[in-house]
Amino acid sequence: MNAIITASELAGDLAGENPPVVLDVRWQLSVAKAAGEPPFDGRAAYEAGHVPGAVYVDLDRELAGAPGGRGRHPLPDIALFGSAMRRAGVSAGRPVVVYDGGQGWAAARAWWLLRWTGHPDVRVLDGGLPSWQGGLSDDVPARVEGDFEPLPGATGLLDADGAAALAGSGVLFDARAGERYRGEVEPIDRVGGHIPGAVSAPTNDNVGPDGRFLSAEDLRDRFKALGASDGTAVGVYCGSGVSGAHEVLALAVAGIPAALYVGSWSEWSSDPARPVAVGPDPR
């Protein structure tokens, strides 16, 4: 099953006999802003206009736990996550399509969580809401309770020790911007740099100017050039497990399975005892 769906395919599926549940996960990374500038409000954006029938999901409250020692966007409590997905209408026997404002990070986080906890049919709208070719609605659909019961997978998830080991035994991709990987700037976390042995693979290079993914062939060539050869174990991390999910999605489009270190740099760098590498070289 393809991990992404085009706007025209989604429109066709919504008109079909078994339309997907559509989740709107619009979100933006919270960083220091000019005094008085309000933070991005995903729910307000949803209420102003969304794909007809879509249900809003809050990334910070429903797709992540409280920030702390496990990182800025740690795994949510699985029971609470399951309850949120059922409230959104998610059922095991019904397809799910997720979109965000176009960057793809938030939608990928929802996609990864649903896939990791056992949903068999989840796709991300390629290009997000800007790619949607139909009209928008400001109607909030009536609540229809789903039956999805999340069952966390035995694979696909890395902790700090697993990420460190994979950087030596396989390939660990750092999905952040290159300047953060090199330690030249660090606008959010305690210290700049990267996990020793990790390879810089900025997630923005997985998409074209329109925000849509490169072709599966181009993505496969990109990741193989960075070390993801056949049979190599692959993992990804980022700042807090959001853009890294987008890289895992890009790898899935390329046909390359990968695990996600959800705690990512926000967890790794919070412990002064963990080693930090700087500069362009992995080590």
pLDDT tens, the chain, 283 aa long: 699 999 999 999 999 999 999 999 999 876 545 455 678 899 999 999 999 999 999 999 999 999 999 999 999 999 999 999 999 999 999 999 999 999 999 999 999 999 999 999 999 999 999 999 999 999 999 989 999 999 999 899 999 999 999 999 999 999 999 999 999 999 889 999 999 999 999 999 999 999 999 999 999 999 999 999 888 999 999 999 999 999 999 999 999 999 999 999 999 999 999 999 999 999 8
d(CA 229, CA 103): 27
By residue count, the chain amounts to 283
Could you confirm whether 156 is annotated as catalytic? Answer: no
d(CA 272, CA 244): 23
Locus of tokens 């998610």: 90
The active-site residue, picked from 108, 166, 238, 248, is 238
